[in-house]
Structure 1
Amino acid sequence: MKFSTLLLSSSIVPAVLAVPNDISRQHQDQHPRDKRDVVVVTEYINQDGNVVIPPATSATQQQVATATLPGGAKDTTTLSPTATSTSSQSSDSNSGSTGTDSFEDGKIKCSDFIGSVSGVLDLTWIGLGGWSSIQDSNGQSATSCEDGMYCSYACDVGQVKTQWPSNQPANGASLGGLLCKDGYLYRTNKDNDNLCESTDGNVSVVNNNSNGEIALCRTDYPGSENMNIPTVVSKGGSQPLAVVNQDTYYQWGGKSTSAQYYVNNAGVSKENGCIWGDASSGVGNWAPLVIGAGQSNGETYLSLIPNPNNGDSANFNVKFKGDNLSGGDCSYENGHISSADGCTVSVISGSVEIIFY
């Protein structure tokens, strides 16, 4: 296990640990085609290597992330926390409306996709009628949104879905989206009338690379964990990056979760990149890089790791830019990340840009 030597003023940094194999197998059972089978959790440690609970949090609020990687690889990247501040984000023509529409239960047929709801994206290339995933109550994949199915959906850039049931399968699968009941769609989280909500992150992605647009593909979580939710940054453009608030968002087995983005080579479209790939494709779960993003107690971290499925270099470089970054050098240049296992930046205040060049 690798622990970072970087300590913030609080002398507390989080370290990433792998969950025992029995939990890993639970995830592997429902994820065919080399889907992710290692769950990674985050615990705080002090300079002596002892697990501690930050004074501002309780034991139940201790940061834990289900950031997982394909093929059984362990993410040993140290995630350094950071304070955040609100910052407006510039965006290009790929951005859309915010999810401000209230959703009425029992009004839309399960056979009709919810693309008319503001903030919801129609994932036509997935082949599920616009849905990001469809699952039965045990988390098994289905192809049609019909009675008893949980129909998950994607939200626009900088936003996350609000709907998932509080009762989750005992087998470790995750369910997200709307429930189809008696032919109509119903919310699974009655505490939120909107299907999408903007995140509070101060992170943007900038594409200064000359090889074309870049598709970052976030995993559909809770849901199938398919990396099919796109953040597409056109050449010369910028987009906000959704950073999950781990204190309020979906929890897996009582543990907080974070957002994970598989970063395709520049020039790969969302239709060709935000899918389950294979060893020969170099896309989706075989994309060259993975970015993690999470927030807890007003602190934000961003991790950059090489995808162990892909040994080829990406056709871009990556750097982090901000006025108040900590965490040491964290970059990807000429096919190499500044730290072999990955690296993390911390945003002490202000905003941060993830720049592809």
Structure 2
Amino acid sequence: MKATILNLAIAASLGSTAIAQPHRHGHQVYHQKRDNAIHEKRDVVTTYVPATVTQYMLGSQVVSPEDAQAGLDKGLYVVIGETTPSFSSPPAPAPTSTSSKEDGIFIEKVTTSSSSSSSSSSSTPPPSTTTSTTSSTPTPEPTKSSYPVSSGAKGIDADFPDGEIDCTSFPSDYGAVALDYLGMGGWSGLQYTPNFSLKDLAISFIETGTTSPAGQTGFYSYACPDGYVKSQWPSAQGSTGQSIGGLYCNSQGKLELTRGDVSKKLCEQGIPGITIKNKMGSGTSVCRTDYPGTENMVIPIDVTAGGSFQLANVASDNYYVWQGKATTLQYYVNKKGVNAEDGCRWTCASDPLGCGNWAPINIGVGQDSSGTTYLSIFPNSAVSTAKLDFDIDISGDSSIECYYHVGEGFAGGSSSGCTTGIPQGGSVTITFSE
């Protein structure tokens, strides 16, 4: 049964007022970052609040989240894109500032792709780094994760043997973390491109795999350990805005590096300095979007009770650049008791409208060109009405108070979230507590 393309459009909002982004109706819809954020001046205590509004489009018709989910469960729809939003980077404010400031927001705009005679479902369900740090950057606490660095003889710091490993073999010996629970042979995302040539500047035909691959040509994306991000994606990206990531499976059935001129390793450590601590008596999960790639929220941190975990951060200008624009990382925070295997997927069985893509809270993070990291907590109100059942507090070298408390909401009484700045070399702890 051929699935219908279900488009996922994203618009930005300031406070409670949604600012709809223009889009053209077509076969597919993808995300485009705007060069300049939309600002609104208000005389309020300064906080930097990101928020997103999501809309499902089937051709020119709006589809409700409930109908979209029903269609996905029945295999009638394939979803195009939710991309990691880009940060605007306002100066880090003083915690007591009361002057009029411009809101810093996530902003996205959608574009459409044109259908071709050979078009198929270029699907990306549904929101990463070459970074450098200075000697003043603190060493993060060891990660205590159920998804450890590979214990193979080669390890995460070994160069990947370009063009030697079969596409049917997952490269865990080189630091990649197999996500077996997704049923795709350990891969976090599969984007088959049978018509792709290394000479192509853009990729026009993409078919997203949903089962274990049998060596089809295309791009095979993968997860890295906590605190790390993948280092491989092709310079050629989707011709209509799709992000593509991972190793390339060539016509000989061998895996090739896609950024071998930049890095010969599969994973690189993100910018240290952000640690999650779980002080609860139960675990939860935090799931990053696979970006660039299928953009599904499947990159897991299994936040077990009492543990400490690194949250990956990237230098946005030096990591994946989308159509000339810097990008950031986005995480989904599930309720307590939801482990990574259940919660780090599009739909989770334990709470279909409250975890996975419908998780109650998002975290966004990225470092700008000045070295300041912007760390945001905001509700996933675009698609979810679920409420997080534990507190989130940010402490350490942060410029302004930012938290979420059950029954209270976000810092400053906001319902839309909060953003804080972290200076270069600084560190913060994100504490989960009951």
For this structure pair, what is the TM-score category when the shorter chain's length is used for normalisation? Answer: 0.7 to 0.9
Which of 107, 130, 138 is the aligned partner of 2:164?
Answer: 107
2:206 aligned with 1:116, yes or no? no
Counterpart in 1 of 2:295?
Answer: 225
In the alignment, is the contact (CA less than 8 A) between 1:306 and 1:337 conserved in 2?
A: no
Q: 2:29 aligns with which of 22, 25, 44?
A: 25
Residue 127 (1) aligns with residue 183 (2): yes
TM-score (norm 1): 0.79
C-alpha spacing 1:159/1:65, structure 2 compared with 1 (3 Å): farther
After TM superposition, the structure 1 = structure 2 runs for residues 82-161 of structure 1, keeping only pairs within 5 Å, are: 86-90=137-141, 91-94=143-146, 96-97=148-149, 99-117=156-174, 119-137=175-193, 138-142=205-209, 143=211, 144=213, 146-161=215-230
Cross-structure match for 2:395:
321
- Spell out, residue by residue over 1:221-259, the C-alpha distance to the aligned partner (whole angstroms, 9 max, x if none): 000011000112211110011002212111111111111
Q: Secondary structure at the match of 1:130?
A: coil
**Map of 1:2 onto structure 2:** 14
CA distance in 2, matches of 1:105, 1:99: 15
Cα deviation, residue 351, structure 1: 1.0
Q: Distance in 2 between matches of 1:310 and 1:346?
A: 27
Q: Deviations over 1:111-163 (max 9, x none)?
A: 1111222x210100111000001102334302325242100010000000000
Equivalent residue number for residue 273 of structure 1: 343
Q: Which amino acid in the other structure matches residue 327 of structure 1? A: I
- Report Cα offsets for 1:168-188 as digits up to 9, x if no partner: 111111110011111110011
Match of 2:272 among 201, 209, 214: 201
Q: Pick closer, same or farther for the CA change 1:89–1:265 going to 2, 3 Å.
A: same
Paired residue secondary structure (1:228)? strand
Counterpart of 2:241, as a letter, is G
Distance 1:262 1:18, change over 3 A: farther
Distance 1:160 1:120, change over 3 A: same
User: Partners of 2:207 and 2:407 in 1: how far apart?
Assistant: 40
| AA in 2 matched with 1:146 | G
Asked whether the 8 Å contact 1:17–1:41 carries over to 2, the reply is no
Give the aligned CA root-mean-square deviation in angstroms: 3.4
Structure 2 runs not aligned, ≥5 long: 1-12, 32-55, 59-71, 92-98, 111-126, 128-133, 150-154, 194-204
Q: Which residue of 2 aligns with 1:10?
A: none
Matching of residues 28-43 of structure 1 within 5 Å: 37=82, 40-43=85-88
Quote the Cα distance in structure 2 between the aligned partners of 1:187 and 1:95.
Answer: 23
User: In percent, how many aligned pairs have the same letter?
Assistant: 35
**Deviation of 1:312 (Å):** 2.4
2:284 matched residue in structure 1: 214
Q: Is the 8 A contact 2:148 2:177 kept in 1?
A: no
The one-letter code matched in structure 2 to 1:21 is H
1:184–1:216 Cα change, 3 Å: same
Name the SS for the 2:29 alignment partner.
helix
The residue identity in structure 2 corresponding to 1:94 is S
**Aligned residue identity for 1:321:** S
Is the Cα–Cα contact under 8 Å of residues 18 and 38 in structure 1 kept in the other structure?
Answer: no
The 2-side partners of 1:172 and 1:257 are apart by 14
> Residues 307-348 of structure 1: CA distance to partner in whole angstroms, max 9, x if unpaired?
1122122121111111x3223443333362232111111123
Q: 1:230 to 1:29 in 2, by over 3 A?
A: same
Instruction: Please say which of residues 134-143 and 176-185 is displaced more in the overlay.
Output: 134-143
Equivalent of 2:310, from 240, 245, 258? 240
Give 1 or 2 for the bigger CA radius of gyration: 2
Moved more, 213-222 or 331-340: 331-340
Contact 1:164 1:222 in 2 (8 A): yes
| Structure 2 Cα separation of the partners of residues 192 and 126 of structure 1 | 27
Counterpart residue number, 2:259: 189
What do residues 8-55 of structure 1 show as CA deviations (whole Å, max 9, x unaligned)? xxxxxxxx988643599324789956665577444456888789xxxx
Distance in 2, matches of 1:258 and 1:172, equals 16
Aligned-partner Cα distance in 2 for 1:67–1:328: 29
Q: Give the Cα separation in 2 of the matches to 1:150 and 1:196.
A: 16
352 and 19 in structure 1: CA distance in 2 versus 1, 3 angstrom threshold: farther
Q: Is the 8 A contact 2:30 2:81 kept in 1?
A: no
